[in-house]
Amino acid sequence: MNNLIIAVDGYSSTGKSTFAKLIASKLGLIFLDSGAIYRAITLYALEHGLILSDGEIIKEKLKVSLEHVEVCFKINSESGKSETFLNGNNVELRIRLLDVSSNVSVISTIDFVRDYVDEILREYGVRGGVVADGRDIGTVVFPHAQLKIFMTADAKIRAQRRVDELLGRGEKADFDEIYNNVIERDYIDSHRDIAPLRKAEDAIELDNSYMTIEDQMVWLDHILKERFPDQVL
Ligand code: DC
């Protein structure tokens, strides 16, 4: 089973990364955070003046620049967690800041950026043994994944989770503003021309509106036993 590929797609703030990371550590697989690669490219573009102050992207330059962009994941030996590196620098925390978050959606709609990210993901996937989370993993990147999970949750509950997360970090959070942002991101992710967010036909839907992460791991155990009855997982 060490060549297993598991795809975890779904709406924003459904806890995809948290769940995918736990699946990876439970099954001894590599966790691939596809959103982090889009975020690292966005950071590169911001740092090299390829995104203007009005949000316009200098696409021709970005296309040429991708040759100089190397994104990879490395395990932090102290925490055991996978972290994102851009051209040799650890950018795991930097790519979560607001300037990257507010430009990444547009960067992720560009066709050559998507091709570039897909290539990185597929290189990791050649040997299998990965859990990847994103928006198009089960539909575009790994259509042959042996297990596809599509995560969803009530938009108000997702907004409240983000509010709690921000407040927990001592930051400000306005529920209405965050709720509107959740709705807007759902719309952008599902309606873009290239690789829109949609549930693959063979994906299993997980609505975790009223589930804890422990509940989700129990759910996963059932699915694994059902899907792979002859394997010790
Ligand atoms: O999951 P995230 O918030 O880190 O993703 C960052 C952005 O990248 C988000 O706007 C959606 C986009 N994305 C995508 O288009 N396709 C993926 N497979 C993963 C993320």
Structure tokens at 77: 């030996």
- Nearest atom within ligand 1 for CA of residue 9: 18
- Domain parsing of the chain, residue ranges: 5-206
Which of 38, 122, 185, 187 most suits a substitution to test ligand 1, by most atoms within 8 Å of the C-beta? 38
Alpha-carbon distance of 227 to 170, in angstroms, equals 42
* Strand positions, DSSP E, the chain: 5-10, 30-33, 71-75, 82-86, 89-90, 130-134, 147-152, 204-207
Residue 176 CA to ligand 1 center (angstroms) comes to 22
Query: Which CATH superfamily includes the segment(s) 5-206?
Result: P-loop containing nucleotide triphosphate hydrolases (3.40.50.300)
Structure tokens at 67: 């040759």
Structure tokens at 165: 């997360």
Res 232 pLDDT > 80: no
Relative orientation angle of helices 175-191 and 155-168, to the nearest 10 degrees: 120
- Rounded-to-5 percentages of helix, strand, coil across the chain: 50, 15, 35
pLDDT digits (tens, 9 = 90+) for 139-186: 999 999 999 999 999 999 999 998 998 899 898 889 999 999 899 889
3-class DSSP state of 176? helix
Mean pLDDT computed over every residue of the chain: 93
pLDDT of residue 75: 86
Residue 73 CA to ligand 1 center (angstroms) comes to 16
Alpha-carbon distance of 114 to 131, in angstroms, equals 19
**Residues whose beta carbon lies within 6 Å of some atom of ligand 1:** 12, 34-35, 38-39, 104-105, 108, 134-137, 189
Q: Report yes or no: 199 and 207 within 8 Å, Cβ to Cβ.
A: no
pLDDT of residue 233: 64
User: CA quadruple 159, 165, 168, 174: dihedral positive or negative?
Assistant: negative
Task: Give, using CA atoms, the residue closest to atom 2 of ligand 1.
Answer: 35
Q: How many CA atoms lie within 13 A of 65 on its CB side?
A: 20
pTM value is: 0.91
Residue 86 CA to ligand 1 center (angstroms) comes to 17
Residue 214 CA to ligand 1 center (angstroms) comes to 25
